[in-house]
Structure 1
C-alpha cells in the first residue's frame, strides 16, 4: 500500500475566513493583512503536534484519532511518516535530529530517527506508568521537557480509559545523557509548553477548562540555573477556547491556539492580534526562518506566510520555501 496521501501541487485558498487582524502595528510587520490562510491537507481526523523536521525537510504532524504521523513536503505532497501509531499526539525534534513523540496509547515518549528506526524513550516515573504524555519540547541545553495530563486516560478515541497510577498531572524534564527523569511542576491539566528564546522562561498551558476546571491559562515559569522552575505567573488567559498548543518566536512573542484561531502575545503578555481559522486551532509551529506558520485544526493542516511582504500566496509557481 502506498504511503502517498496527497499528490504534489498547490494548496487550496481558504476563502471562508477573515484575514489576520492586528491590535498592534508591530504585528502588521510580521503578519500582513494581505496574507491568506491556505489548506495544505484536509483529510485527517484530529490534527495535532506540528513540528518542522530539518533532517527530512518536512512538516510533521499527528492525526491522533487516525493513528498516523503525517508529513507535508514542500512540493505539496503528503505522506505517512509513521503508521498505526499508539495515538501519538505532540512531536518535537531533539538536538540529535530525531523526532520525539508523545504516545497516548502506550503512555510514553518514543523516537523515530531520520533512518526510520523507532524506539521507546521514557515509559515510567518512579516505577509507575505515566498518564499519557501530551506535548513535548527540546530545551536549549538538549533536555526534553513534556507535559503529562489526563487526556489519554479520559478519551477512548485518543487513548485507553484507565485510572492514573501517579495521582498528579505534571511537567517533566528528561535528561538524554543520563536517562534521568525529574518532575518539575504540577498543574490542573498541563498541555502545551515552549521556552523563551534565552531558555530562562518556560511557558506551560493549563487546559483544565475541558474537564470541568477553570484553566484556560498560559503560565510563565522562571527557569533557574539548576533547571528548577520558580513560582509561575499568569502570562495570559485565552478566550475563546483554550491555549492547547503554542510556539514562541525569536522575538519572544507567543503564538497560541484558541477557539477562534491563533492569538499572538508580546513577550510582556500584551495581545498583538490574531489569525482566524474556520475551526478551533489545536496547535501551530514555524517553518524554516519563521517565514511560514503551520496550523493544525481538526481535519486540516493550514499555513500562512509571514513577513511584511508575504509571498503573495503564489504557491502555483513557488510552493517550496
Structure 2
C-alpha cells in the first residue's frame, strides 16, 4: 500500500489493502469544503478561487452546482438536510432552502462585519457553529482584500438566530468538528497568512460561554485545515502530505498519503465509509474500514 503509512497497529485495521486512493476529478484551483448528500448520491465542494461550488456524483461526474458562489469555502448540512455555507466574498454564513432560496444566518457581530467565515458545523440542538479567520479578506485569491473589523473567532448561532462568541484564543481558527457525543469541539488553528505562526489543533470542552481549550496535536508537515471524526472519535485531519488519523488521545496512528496538499475531508458513500478528500487541484476518495460520525 504505497498510499498509506502506519504509525500504530490500530491503524492497520482502518485501511483496506485492495481499496485504492482514487482521483475522481482534477483541474481546479483550490478545492475545499466537501459535504456529502446521501439522498442525492452526490458530493458538493468548493473551488474557491474560481468562485464556484461543484457537484460530483458517481453517475455523472463533475457539474457546476452554483456559480458565482461568493467565493464559498466550507459547507455542511443542517438537521433538515439543507446546505449551510461559508462565503468569503459576502463575509457571511448562509442556508440554501429546499426551494433554492438563500437565507443569511450571520454576516456580522456587534455592529461589525464578519471577516471571512471558513468552516461550519451543526450541533444536535440545531445551533450552527462557524470559524471566522481572515483568509478571504487578506488577499484577492480567495475573495477580496478588505479591512479586518473583528478578531478571528469561532461563533455559535442558536436556532432562534442569536449569535455568541465561543472561541477567542486562536490566531486563525479554521476547521471545526465535534466529538461523537458533542462534549468536545476540535478547532484547527492554521495561523495568520504570510507568517510563521504555530499551526496546531486544539480541543475544547463544550458548554456555556467562551470555551477554555488545550493543545491537542501539532502537525509538522504543512498545516491542519479541515477535519472530521469517525464514529469512534478518531480525528481525520488534513495535512501537507495527506490525511492524518489521530486517536482520541492525540496519538498519530497513520497517514493516507496524497500527492497534493490536502485542505479538507468528509465521510460519505453508502455507509459513510468513504473518505472524500479535497486537495489543491483535485478531488480524491478512499474506502475505509471506518464510518464517519453519522450526522451531519
> What range is the shorter-chain TM-score in?
over 0.9
Any residues of structure 2 matched to 1:177-196 within 5 Å, and which?
Answer: 178-186=160-168, 187-196=170-179
The reply to whether residue 82 of structure 1 matches residue 66 of structure 2 is yes
Structure 2 residues without counterparts, runs of 5 or longer:
291-296
- Counterpart pick for 2:182 among 199, 202, 211: 199
Structure-1 residue corresponding to 2:293: none
In structure 2, distance between residues paired with 1:126 and 1:268:
37
CA distance in 1, matches of 2:141, 2:197: 24
Alignment of 1:291-302 (within 5 A): 291-302=273-284
Give the number of equivalent residue pairs.
Answer: 288
The residue that corresponds to 1:157 in the other structure is 141
What is the alpha-carbon distance in structure 1 between the residues aligned to residue 193 and residue 21 of structure 2? 27
Q: Whose radius of gyration is greater, 1 or 2?
A: 1
Partner of 1:250: 231
TM-superposed deviation, 1:230 = 3.6
Residue number among 281, 305, 309 corresponding to 2:287 in the alignment: 305
Shift of 1:66: 1.1
2:119 paired residue number: 135
For 2:138 and 2:172, how far apart are their aligned partners in 1?
12
Shift of 1:169: 0.5
Please give the per-residue CA displacement for 1:171-194, whole angstroms capped at 9, x wherever unaligned. 000113x11000111210100010
- Separation in 2, partners of 1:90, 1:280: 17
Query: How far off its partner does 1:213 sit?
Result: 4.1
**Partner Cα separation in structure 2 for residue 215 and residue 114 of structure 1:** 41
Check the 8 A contact 1:209/1:216 in 2, yes or no.
no
**What are the residue-to-residue correspondences of 1:261-300 with 2, within 5 Å?**
261-288=242-269, 289-300=271-282
TM-score, normalization: structure 2? 0.93
Q: Which runs of 5+ in 1 are unaligned?
A: 1-16, 309-321
